[in-house]
Structures are given as C-alpha cells and as structure tokens.
C-alpha cells in the first residue's frame, strides 16, 4: 500500500505543479509581463522574475501536497523533485533561445530545494 500511496503522491504533486504553472503563465501573459506569442523572447526582468517566482510557488505546492499524501513515505518528495528536474531540463532546453542562460540555470537550481521546502513545511503542520 505504501508504494501505491507514494506513486499517487508523486503524480498528484506533478499534476498540481503543472496546473499551477499553466494558470500562472496565463496570468503573467494577461498582466503583460510575458509576450502573448510563446515563440517570442522573454526579455523583461519582470517577466523573468515572475516566472521564477511562479516556479518556486509551484514547486513548494507540489512538494507540500506530495508530502501530505505520502505521509510516512520518505521517497515521494525526492521522486517528485527528480521528475520535475528531468522535465525542467527538457523544457528549458527546448526554449533555450527564448530566455537568458542565467534564467534557465536559476530555474533548474531552484526546483529541488523549493520542492523540498514545501514538503518540509507540510511535515510541520
């Protein structure tokens, strides 16, 4: 049963991360911080900072949910963080021309600690 709980916690955390990312992206576009055309470069500091803040919020939320659902399992959050990093590597590589290198590096470097921070906060409640 623990394996099933772990798997469900990882999937739920990943889905929440993705849904929050999609909603947040649309919000940043609506606010004018990001271009409406996803093929255009993101050059504004507000847009880049908004995306990084959004990534942190998504990661914290996904990590917290995974931790709450997995309860005693200690593997759900590391698995989720690893999956987010692998996905992030692929996505950041596919959009490498649209943003500065520093943005991609910061985005990737924040995924694991933000996910773990969310799990840590959830374990304290």
Contact in structure between 77 and 119 (CB atoms under 8 Å) = yes
CB atoms within 10 A of CB 107: 18
pLDDT, one tens digit per residue, over 5-43 is 999 999 999 999 999 999 999 999 999 999 999 999 999
pLDDT category at 87 given cuts 50, 70, 90 is: very high
Which residue matches tokens 């943005």? 103
Work out the angle between the directed axes of helices 2-30 and 45-70 (0-180°, nearest 10): 160
pLDDT score of 1 more than 70: no
> Please, what is the average pLDDT of the chain?
95
Q: Report how far residue 2's alpha carbon sits from residue 8's, in angstroms, rounded to the nearest whole number.
A: 10
CA angle 40, 45, 46 (to 5 degrees): 90
**Does the structure show a pLDDT above 80 at 91?**
yes
Q: Residue 113 is part of which domain span?
A: 2-124
Number of domains present in the structure of the chain:
1
Whole-prediction pTM: 0.94
Distance CA 21, CA 44 (A): 19
**Do 12 and 45 touch, CB atoms closer than 8 A?**
no
């Amino acid at each position: 049963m623990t394996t099933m709980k772990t798997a469900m916690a990882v999937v739920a955390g990943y889905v929440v991360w993705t849904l929050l990312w999609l909603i947040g992206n649309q919000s940043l576009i609506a606010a004018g911080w990001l271009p409406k055309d996803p093929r255009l470069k993101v050059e504004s500091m507000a847009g880049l900072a908004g995306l990084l803040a959004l990534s942190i919020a998504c990661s914290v939320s996904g990590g917290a949910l995974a931790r709450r659902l997995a309860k005693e399992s200690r593997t759900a959050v590391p698995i989720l963080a690893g999956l987010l990093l692998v996905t992030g590597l692929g996505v950041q590589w596919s959009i490498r021309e649209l943003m500065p290198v520093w943005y991609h590096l910061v985005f990737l470097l924040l995924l694991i600690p933000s996910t773990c921070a969310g799990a840590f906060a959830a374990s304290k409640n």
